[in-house]
Structure 1
């Protein structure tokens, strides 16, 4: 895998004018070629506040949480033991207390470096502890099995958040099993969605095509992270693939070297993942009762809307989520009037019948009475008989 990343560049060219610094910082490497010496302490210090500190809103977040009580496992190239910004907060598994490449130390600084007087660099969770675990060989070359073993070792060492600094195109079975091991023990695994740079074919000199998936980022339960730079975009030569859950500052970022107080500059999704691991430590510090899955959901749901969403540590610390669905209001029960009593109806029918009879009687009387008067109220037959007799 190519070491890539940035050549040494002026920090002023990579940061907004308000945060510009006039120093030139050495470039971070992901892998050292066999003929390259180990990374050394940087002689340069970034004294102005970095753009990542502003983009993540860390000063505001620290008023709520600083990572105290949380251990972050760093599965990478190791973490140096002589870094003032991490003093007394680094524990190592085996020989992981040395870092020839500097990548693991850089990532640990993004996660937990303490702010210092006259220094603009600070980690997202400056009170968190670091558990250094080697997931590569001494020159920074990873294998799926090394990474899987590193995840398990970090979890066994008590890490509540496990940062994995590498993405490999193979190793689905062993890395999925390692992530499952972490998930069952309530540890959140955070990893880059793709490598920082694609390998170059030694025979042709051509850059290889990106794989459709990288591990452990593609494993269920992993919080996978994409990078972006000060202008909100990614470098043109950055690996292009899918599957990121979150995006975070990862290009032209500044952090500590493998020893000493000086700083390096680097780019890549692995560094964005380190910033998200620090944000996860903040959430676990403020909400110790949250499970790993809940912390992951908190970070994604409370992020800035984008594709993928951009991590917002302060939002994750303050947003209140609930699994309870709002109840649907029930309509009031229909009021059915009681059955009408038959008495009024019967009374009405009786009155109507009586009225009808009265009408008939009146009509009959109107016919009979005049005729009766005309005959002197004599029966019709008597009148005829009398007329015949005369």
Structure 2
């Protein structure tokens, strides 16, 4: 059975009401008990035990806009780009072709069109789910006109190996995905996952991955395993590594603490679609934050098709809200005017000193002027001497 978590349904109308949203949303991540005005949602999982049933349709719905979409300014960004014409690969537990909001836009490799666990479908919904029918609110994706390429990076129940994940990334790149969302973070597999990311980068695909696992494993004694300093593929060069935050702007106290994130995005107490039906699930973790970033990347690639994967990554990070790490801002990524080259200051052009003028024309002019002056002097002298000479019969003058 799936765990249930409480989501209070409130629609703030005033600033005072808005100030209460933090308390309301803390209930969504388990910080407060459910009350009469709450809806119990099943929690999405990353894997299932061998004796657990597959995820089923949720019987509960959230009719208001989830806090994550409000935080991201999703409605404003959607006026500029809905991700049309882009393909986002979801490398995860599969993506159900029956999922609400994704109908007709899922292409699956092999058996990835079914999703027993539900995590891949949930993430795909955060990326690209269309608004649900006539309802104006509720969960939706940042790129509701993008296509989803489902690539199974795990087995049917969510178990995973580095090699399998690496093979899935390569498959996604070969199929022409412009954005590749990876739903898992592994402590091993540096070589094969780095190679897979490099392969995808050569094909101009942007890989987006969670900085760390959604939850740390436990050892045989039940103690939580200390987090690694880095996880893969997020630590590989070229990957957009994403961490999460909750409705209060902070990460949960039990979340893995790993440094090195390129971006942060909403990831805790996030509401999304399930693998079947029209009901909703709730989930938390960096993997869900990465799904939001993948959706924003699809928006940017659709609006600026001339940009390379690396340029899209740069646009998302440099236009983000300044924080540590920077926080995803889809609208700014779609509208910001960035300098041509990151981290450089244009240098002034070198001054050009003209060559010294030749003295030859000047000398020639002086010679001509001197000759002209001499000729004038001769003419003047002739004008004075000749008349006088004629008048005297060319005789020598008397002393």
| Shorter-chain TM band | 0.7 to 0.9
- Kindly indicate whether residue 175 of structure 2 is the aligned counterpart of residue 175 of structure 1: no
RMSD of aligned C-alpha atoms?
2.5
Match of 2:109 in 1: 93
Superposition pairs of residues 344-363 of structure 1, within 5 angstroms: none
Provide the secondary structure at the position in 2 that maps to 1:84.
coil
Provide the secondary structure at the position in 2 that maps to 1:259.
coil
Match of 1:199 in 2: 217
- Kindly indicate whether residue 184 of structure 2 is the aligned counterpart of residue 188 of structure 1: no
User: Which of 57, 67, 75 in structure 1 is aligned with 2:83?
Assistant: 67
User: Which of 53, 73, 81 in structure 1 is aligned with 2:97?
Assistant: 81
Paired positions, count = 334
- Superposed displacement of residue 326, structure 1: 2.7
- Kindly indicate whether residue 243 of structure 2 is the aligned counterpart of residue 226 of structure 1: yes
How far apart in 1 are the matches of 2:296 and 2:309? Answer: 13
- Superposed displacement of residue 22, structure 1: 3.4
How far apart in 2 are the matches of 1:82 and 1:15? Answer: 30
How far apart in 1 are the matches of 2:286 and 2:138? Answer: 22
- Structure label with greater radius of gyration: 1
How far apart in 1 are the matches of 2:191 and 2:85? Answer: 32
The question of whether the paired residues in 2 share the 8 Å contact of 1:248 and 1:311 is answered with yes
User: Which of 325, 328, 351 in structure 1 is aligned with 2:348?
Assistant: 328
User: Which of 122, 144, 147 in structure 2 is aligned with 1:106?
Assistant: 122
How far apart in 1 are the matches of 2:38 and 2:176? Answer: 41
Match of 1:258 in 2: 275
Instruction: Name stretches of at least 5 consecutive residues in structure 2 with no aligned partner.
Output: 25-36, 355-399
**Greater shift in the superposed pair: 21-30 or 147-156:** 21-30
Alignment deviations for residues 212-268 of structure 1 (CA, whole Å, 9 cap, x no partner): 110000000000000000000111110111111000000000110011111100000
How far apart in 2 are the matches of 1:40 and 1:259? Answer: 6
User: Which of 167, 180, 185 in structure 2 is aligned with 1:149?
Assistant: 167
Provide the secondary structure at the position in 2 that maps to 1:254.
strand
Alignment deviations for residues 67-119 of structure 1 (CA, whole Å, 9 cap, x no partner): 00000000000001111200100000000011010000000000001012224
Superposition pairs of residues 1-390 of structure 1, within 5 angstroms: 7-12=3-8, 22-116=38-132, 117-118=134-135, 119-201=137-219, 203-324=220-341, 325-328=345-348
How far apart in 2 are the matches of 1:330 and 1:191? Answer: 44
- Superposed displacement of residue 26, structure 1: 0.7
- Superposed displacement of residue 64, structure 1: 0.6
How far apart in 2 are the matches of 1:14 and 1:308? Answer: 30
How far apart in 2 are the matches of 1:120 and 1:327? Answer: 50
The question of whether the paired residues in 1 share the 8 Å contact of 2:61 and 2:278 is answered with yes
Provide the secondary structure at the position in 2 that maps to 1:25.
strand
Provide the secondary structure at the position in 1 that maps to 2:180.
strand
Q: Which runs of 4+ in 1 moved over 2 A?
A: 13-22, 116-119, 322-334
Q: 1:328 to 1:112 in 2, by over 3 A?
A: same
- Superposed displacement of residue 9, structure 1: 1.9
The question of whether the paired residues in 2 share the 8 Å contact of 1:14 and 1:230 is answered with no
Q: What TM-score comes out, normalization by structure 2 length?
A: 0.79
Provide the secondary structure at the position in 2 that maps to 1:152.
helix
Alignment deviations for residues 349-381 of structure 1 (CA, whole Å, 9 cap, x no partner): xxxxxxxxxxxxxxxxxxxxxxxxxxxxxxxxx
